[in-house]
Amino acid sequence: MRKIILIFISVILSSGLLYGGQTEIKGLVRDGLSHKPLQGVNIEIKEGNKGSATDDTGHFTLYLSPAAYTLVVSHIGYRTRHIRVDLQGERQQLQIDLQPAVIEQKQAITVYGALNDPLDKNRDKWLNSTDDMMRRFEGVTLMRRANFALEPSIRGLSYGQISTTIDGMKIFHACVDRMDPATSYVEVENLDRLEVSKGAYDLSQSSVGGSLNFVTRDPQSLPGWSSESETGFESASALRRLRGELSWRGRHQALRVSMSLKKADSYYAGDHTLIARSGYSKQNAAVKYMIDLNDRSRLTLNYIGDFARDIGYPALLMDATRTIAHIGSIKYEWNPALSWFPKFNTRIYYNQIRHWMDDYGRDVRQREVMADMYMPMYGVATTYGAIVAATFLPGRDSFLKLTLDYYRLNSFADMKMLSIFPDISPAYIVNIADARLDNLALIADYTIPLTERWRLRSNVRLDYARRDIYDEFGKNALSAFWSDQGSFMEQVLPSGSLALEWRADAENILTWSLAAVQRMPSHMESYSFFIYNLLDGYFYTGNPGLKPEASLQTDMGWKYRGSSLAADFSLFFNHLNNYIAGRWQSPEFKIYENFSGADLYGFEWNGSYHVKALTLAGSLAYTRGYNNALGEPLPYIPPLATTVSFSYTGSGWWLQLRMLHSAAQNRVADKSTREDTTPAFTRLDLRGRYHLGEAWEIKAGVENLLDSYYHEHLSINNLPSPGRNFYLGLNYRWQRSTEN
């Protein structure tokens, strides 16, 4: 008993020593442009070695003896601020806005916001899927082949012209019919945010059109436990879903585990039209573990597993029976604690996608192409690589990031042709003959202030690429086309970009960007063999002699941030040289070739106006594309899209009415493809959220309120979009802090 009392007294004494006579400073650090809270911002006291960092709500707390201090507030990518505080025993509450130091060429949508602020405006918590997330960016449109795995297109460019990464790491699809864009393997509950670059100005990835980077979610930043679970239903496809996560942080370790289950039947398009064979089932699991090796270094292990079955692709000739994805990485972060060298990290990663599809469920006697035979197909893509990145702050407000990025893609795909007539013997085709692609890149990203108001960002990237095919059977088939030049390819590709920013005043920022970039052909464009393309009805063969596709592009941006009005506008032009597309070879066959040139131009605008609890928001996006060599529009360019929304935030509830209008698309590539025109359509969505106390939340809404029957222009074979869809989600959240 005496011992306990002694301990008790000493605890009181020590806390008295710590906090007695000390003054509390609390602060919130935000991004000066978006006013979003910033996590992990360093707060240092110039006089002495005390310091703190902001949590995931942007807050920090410090205890100091009464005196005058200078707080040094610093964060990667932001200008450092020095703030004088004079403590006279009164509690201090600070709000600090940091101005970005890097010219931002990415837009991001945060999935999960701060735990403490469930009605945070920045949190798009209604998002039901990764597709919903991608759709939120004006200028991003989705190609539909099913009610599953929509494929993104940025400013009219897609597939090999844009880049997809998870935490900056490459991932490729396995299906030769583009059933499985890499975006289909990450579920929304695994994600912290999605970063989209429109145009190829940020050269951290190689592309001519832009990039999508899915940033996975970390364990919670506060010590303790939390969990969240959600169950949901959507009426258009009778989708049942369940997802849950558990997060823990101790003194030096942290863990996050999440999983989701989804099952959907065939969906109904507008006017109650059933789209047969369009259901699917999908399971996803993710684990992230972090351990602090010491005060300055940390190791993070990350794994995502994704498993889907029985996916109907009503727009295509086949359905996928099974896909398996394993995505893993190890990251080592080191903080050298030098003012000019604050950050160093290394990542190694591995991912493997396997994909099976067949047409056993289809009536093969009735179809026009490849009639009277079944064609089971298999594909696998294995990608591994390493990234080493170092961040330097060489001078006042200047920023330099050097990255070495290597990856290897191994890809194989084959098919059997099984006639329904027993006297015809089966045939075997290798579609991708064990292609092995190596890519090594050195990237420098440098930002310097020119004056108080002008800044310059420059990106330089050098890629070394080599590739070949190794399956003898498949190599022989392809050599019928390319016997003279062989299948080996080797290229060195320099790329560069410049961005100039002018901060006209506190509310207006203007940017002008220019880029000259190149991208390697995709592995399909280089080496695929006998791939049927529904867009034009031809069988495609790759071309190992393709030159890289090159782009010269420019972008003018205007960002306005007033107290109640905010708006972004950008105008772009993209000239592609050696544009890669299929060239007619014989009545049923095309091969990939470089075309002399193609031009794309357009604009995006988005704006929002806040009055008290009401927000009025809108967006516009337009792209126009032309193939100069063929003298016709580029295929699959989205028409003018307009959105208008009204949102109201009450205490504990939120309601939004949103209208999407898509203009007709009459500019089509009808010489080289079967693309047809698409009529205009309008769609209305109504969404709401309601909080029941601290723990429970209900999300509900109706998408396509008027049950319009329509298809988007980027819908393959004019597959219609879902009709009226009621969705309901019930979310339960729980947390326990171990901090006192």
Contact residues: Cu ion, CB under 5 A: 175, 177, 179, 357
Return the number of the residue (43 or 175) whose C-beta is nearest Cu ion: 175
Question: CB 78 → Cu ion: shortest distance, Å?
Answer: 44
Question: CB 537 → Cu ion: shortest distance, Å?
Answer: 18
Residue 439 and residue 546: Cα distance in Å, rounded? 16
Of residues 365, 466, 474, 396, the one with CA closest to residue 430:
474
Q: How many helices (H) and strands (E) does the chain have?
A: 4, 43
Question: CB 380 → Cu ion: shortest distance, Å?
Answer: 12
Return the number of the residue (177 or 189) whose C-beta is nearest Cu ion: 177
Distance of CA 555 to the CA centre of its chain: 21
CB of 358 closer than 8 Å to CB of 318: yes
Half-sphere exposure of residue 96: CA atoms within 13 angstroms, side-chain side: 32
Return the number of the residue (356 or 648) whose C-beta is nearest Cu ion: 356
Residue 112 and residue 37: Cα distance in Å, rounded? 13
CB of 683 closer than 8 Å to CB of 669: no
Return the number of the residue (194 or 357) whose C-beta is nearest Cu ion: 357
Contacts of 496 (CB under 8 A, 6+ apart): 203, 458, 459, 460, 461, 515, 516, 517
Residue 630 and residue 671: Cα distance in Å, rounded? 8
Question: CB 329 → Cu ion: shortest distance, Å?
Answer: 26
Question: CB 523 → Cu ion: shortest distance, Å?
Answer: 15
Question: CB 519 → Cu ion: shortest distance, Å?
Answer: 24
Tell me the residue type at 582: G
Question: CB 187 → Cu ion: shortest distance, Å?
Answer: 20
Contacts of 127 (CB under 8 A, 6+ apart): 111, 133, 136, 188
Question: CB 239 → Cu ion: shortest distance, Å?
Answer: 21
Return the number of the residue (413 or 641) whose C-beta is nearest Cu ion: 413
Question: CB 353 → Cu ion: shortest distance, Å?
Answer: 11
Return the number of the residue (357 or 634) whose C-beta is nearest Cu ion: 357
Please give the C-alpha separations between residue 689 and each of 110, 190, 650, in angstroms, as whole numbers: 17, 21, 10
Tell me the residue type at 288: K
Q: Which residue has the tokens 């991708």?
A: 432
Tell me the residue type at 657: L
Residue 544: exposed, middle, or buried by beta-carbon count in 10 A (0-12, 13-18, 19+)?
A: buried
Question: CB 323 → Cu ion: shortest distance, Å?
Answer: 8
Question: CB 356 → Cu ion: shortest distance, Å?
Answer: 8
Return the number of the residue (179 or 308) whose C-beta is nearest Cu ion: 179
Return the number of the residue (264 or 357) whose C-beta is nearest Cu ion: 357
Residue showing the smallest CB distance to Cu ion in the complex: 175
Return the number of the residue (249 or 355) whose C-beta is nearest Cu ion: 355
3-state SS string for 673-689: CCCCCECCEEEEEEEEE
For 170, the token pair is 């490459």
Give the H or E element holding residue 654.
strand 653-662
Residue 444 and residue 202: Cα distance in Å, rounded? 10
- Residue 476 gets which letter from DSSP? H
Return the number of the residue (177 or 228) whose C-beta is nearest Cu ion: 177
Question: CB 184 → Cu ion: shortest distance, Å?
Answer: 11
Return the number of the residue (140 or 179) whose C-beta is nearest Cu ion: 179
Return the number of the residue (131 or 228) whose C-beta is nearest Cu ion: 131
Distance of CA 71 to the CA centre of its chain: 35
Return the number of the residue (177 or 463) whose C-beta is nearest Cu ion: 177
Residue 243's CB is within 10 A of a number of other CB atoms, namely 21
Residue 303 and residue 330: Cα distance in Å, rounded? 9
Residue 216 and residue 258: Cα distance in Å, rounded? 11
Question: CB 385 → Cu ion: shortest distance, Å?
Answer: 24
Contacts of 403 (CB under 8 A, 6+ apart): 204, 387, 388, 389, 390, 441, 442, 443, 444, 445
Residue 334 and residue 529: Cα distance in Å, rounded? 45
